[in-house]
Structure 1
Amino acid sequence: MSAEAREWVWEYSSSRGTARLVLLSIADRVPDEQCVAWASVASLVKRTNASRTAVRDALVALADSGELEVLKKLQGPQRSAVYRLPRAAAWLAKVAEAAEEEPEAYVEPPTEADPVPEVDEKRLQRHGIWPRKGAETGPSQRNPAGAESGPSRRNPTPRRAGIRPLHGTDSGPQNRSEPKVNRRYSSSGTGVTTADAWEVDPASRAWAHQQGHLDRLGEEGLEAADAKWRAHRSGHRPRSAAAWAADWRSWVAREHSPDRPRLRALPGGESAAASGMTRAEAHTAALLAALGGPTPTGTEA
């Protein structure tokens, strides 16, 4: 029956613009000759591609013109509003009555004097339209869209204003000056310690062995490097054990071997300071000694 209802809108409705689109959208949902259908403002906005305000104004204009009726005692799925095209229903009843007498009979165009048949609410239940519970839940005459049209613009929902307790809630400290216990460098946080208290973990020692640093430095050299590292890190802020382990490994990797020749050493084990040479002269003497040439003093290496 939606085709017959749309035909009446196209041929006999005086609506224009958005109102005509809204009326066609409702007529497209008509299931039988009673010309009753449910619709929400959101669905009408989507179908007509018009704004919510324009759809509301169109519903009011159609209701005022008599081409659309809001059945306030009925509601559709999700409490959507129920509408009827009364003049379309009157015209379809007039056509059906004339067809019973003579199928090919000419039917006069509809007029406002054509009687509108009564609504059979029981037949509408098969289409998801049921009586609305309580008269107070029916849509207002100024809001033909029904309950699904959204909150009124003149009566916006007030913001929630609860009573705050004097001393705050139990969810956290209310004093902004109270220190946080989970701060990054807080010594009270779990897994955070100082360099002096940190102990070399088995993974770090295994790393030193796998990378060859234990063989290069030896046990005594590794202990010396560890002691030097702790002396340099004693004034640092507490960190996590993983951070200290990474820093310790980096230090050990840069540590020199204890048997590495000193640049200031001279042939024969004499230091530059003891021989009275400058640092440049000591370097030259060490280079000549390695090449087998005469030293700056004229002696053979």
Structure 2
Amino acid sequence: MSVDAREWGWEHSSSKGVARLVLLSIADRVPDEKCVAWASLASLVTRTNASRTAVRTALAALAESGELELLDYLDGPQRASVYRLPHAAAWLAKVAKATKDDPDAYVAPPTDSDPVPELDEEAETQLRRYGIWPKKGKDSDPSRRNLTGAESDPPRRNPPPRRAGIRTAGRTDSAPQNRSEPKVNRNSSSSGGAAAIPVDQWQIDTATQAWAHQHGHLDRLGEEGLLASDAKWRVHRANWQPRKVAAWAADWRSWIARERSPAPGRPNLYAVPGNGGTTGTGRMTRAEAHTAALLAALGEPTENGAAAQ
């Protein structure tokens, strides 16, 4: 359902700039036709790559335009703000009604006069499956008195789970969203806690995998090339002092970004150090490997008299 909400945002929203990014970030977390989703200020800052001030201004502008509504009587996980996209909900209801009998029926573009479906008690009860519950003690909760939240909002990143992007209630910050998914970097939190770990204990987490895919390094290096680059990085960092998880992640990303794309049919000139100066696939020294690679590129015969391929 987040696909339909995003489509409305792309096709029919009048928002611009940071406000458009904020709207689409919230629409990406919409789980059903009610178009209700939660999002913390910190997560919106991270996802839009904008400043907190810019995000707050964007939220206020979206509220003024009527494209975003703060449901201040509801709480998301970790007391995150809960929002609704009323125009998107009206549009989805209009489409559902028009195509109920004829899936190919023409649906007129949305207008401001399209009625917004009400959130009844049953609908609010269904939201609990996404971790959205009625707020307790709302009069004593200053962080929900305005659309943009309080300055004390937690800086913790709140990444969306699969599909709707809303975590169920009762989960802790350190628990994996998928029960079959193993925890990584156990000695420190995902945000780089106080504990330092050696490089062999650091593992590529979900955020790092997403970074490699988003920036095209996975497509550029290929899965095998990425694994080889990771192995080479670990060898080069084997004698380094333990560091925090965030520091290892930043160093790993910097290393991968500098890795060159492998040329088709060309030997690897960058052998992993160690094992007495030999490569991972033979017993040649690094100098011999470089010479063999050069001869292979030139098509010259090697020491055994055969032409290098």
Q: Normalising by structure 1, what TM-score? A: 0.48
Higher RCO (C-alpha 8 Å, min separation 6) = 2
Q: Which of 1 and 2 has greater Rg?
A: 1
Q: Normalising by structure 2, what TM-score? A: 0.47
